Amino acid sequence: MDVFDKCDMSKSPLGKYALQGEGYYLFPKLEGQLSNRMIFQGKERLVWSLNNYLGLGNHPEVRKVDAEAAKEWGLAYPMGARMMSGHTTMHENLEKQLAQFVNREAAYLLNYGYQGMVSIINTMVDRKDVIVYDSEAHACIIDGMRLHFGKRFVYPHNNMPNLERELTRATRIVEKTGGGILVITEGVYGMTGGLGKLDEIVALKKKFNFRLFIDDAHGFGTMGPTGAGTDEHFGVQDEVDLYFGTFAKSMAGIGGFIASNKNVIKYLQYNMRSQIYAKSLPMPMVIGALKRLELLREEPEHREKLWTIVHALQGGLKEKGFNIGEGGSPVTPVILHGSVGESTQIAYDLRENYNIFCSIVVYPVIPKGVILLRLIPTAVHTIEDVEYTVNAFAEVKEKLTNKEYSDEIKKRLIE
């Protein structure tokens, strides 16, 4: 068999839908300025699919700083990796401010969140160590663990008795190998919006010896009294040993960071392959991130507006009888039941008849028979947007209950 044969077959779980769905359901093009309303297929839609939580993506001060930095520095400077020729005072300044904001001794910049997470895991553990992780861990965590030569154990999502059992297994192993245990969880689970049980995980440190690593991509900037993250929300910053945040969500940019004590960060600086062998984060992105962090820190009204919209949206959906999962974060899943075919009909109806664009998730990402409409509220949405969306969803739910979408599928098959 030729290694290219699999490309012709296109048998991946999502690839099989490429012919029918590409350009509309898969790889859709949202055009225009980042906002609550954008253009899709030539028409303006109310958009609930952008991780632009604080509305900084099109903030005038952010746009101004981005433009000025690009004009002054270009996208090439600094050239080379940080260790060789790509190190600057600006990079150090951003790291210092990030560490202070999340209440850690030190931080280190990452070119990309996904790439950074993979490399951090690869760097922090060796064959003597054991990883214990949540079953709903993000793909970047899974890919990082694939590089791990030692044992790894998974526990069902947020199931603390199972986590305790896996820690017991891991402890027996490291007692023989002389290694350590790394527990990996997320602060906010980006698909369901639920929170990792950081307080309960931390409590297990009294019984077991492990280090806790959290991926807080969706929590950084949104969670906690100051927006410093989900560990701040739970009041356990001192017990979270490795804190990972990304600029791709609340900061509306590119890159990320890892924060911990000084010794750990210094170790990562000299051993993390994805940063040692990759070009440094370009200066405009560093300067832009400094401005975004300043707004996040000094203008809490953006976060307050976000949560006003979150409470209105989630409260309105609950009043209409919708299942929106565990809650606790801005991510708002609307859980329905139906076939993959019905899900495409719902997406089409929302986009074409209600002018609402949101992400729709079906099998194999989630179990068969479940349809998840994922809404991402932001600080640039309005209460009017919320009211319109809640009412539209109520109508869609009624149509689904009355089998109107399945009837439409049958009708098209007959035709």
Strand 256-260 and strand 242-246: the pairing is antiparallel
**Is the pLDDT confidence value at 7 over 90?**
no
* Closest among 415, 106, 85, 413 to 257, alpha carbons compared: 106
Q: How confident is the model at residue 23 (pLDDT cuts 50, 70, 90)?
A: confident
Strand partners, 43: 40
pTM: 0.93
Residue length, the chain? 415
At 202, is the secondary structure helix, strand, or coil? helix
Arithmetic mean of pLDDT over the chain: 93
pLDDT of residue 59: 96
Domain layout of the chain by residue ranges: 5-53+301-414, 60-298
Residue among 46, 109, 167 at smallest CA distance from 285: 109
Residues 10, 343, 308, 36, Cα dihedral to 10°: 60
Mean pLDDT for the stretch of residues 305-315: 98
Instruction: Tell me the CA distances in angstroms from 293 to 53, 325, 406, one per residue in order.
Output: 14, 30, 48
Assess if CATH 3.90.1150.10 describes domain 5-53+301-414.
yes
- How does pLDDT run across 377-413, given as a tens digit for each residue? 999 999 999 999 999 999 999 999 999 887 666 565 5
Task: Give the CATH number of domain 60-298.
Answer: 3.40.640.10
Tell me the pLDDT tens digit for each residue of 94-129. 999 999 999 999 999 999 888 999 999 999 999 999
The reply to whether omega before 364 is within 30° of 0 (cis) is yes
Backbone φ, ψ for residue 192 (5° rounding): -100, -20
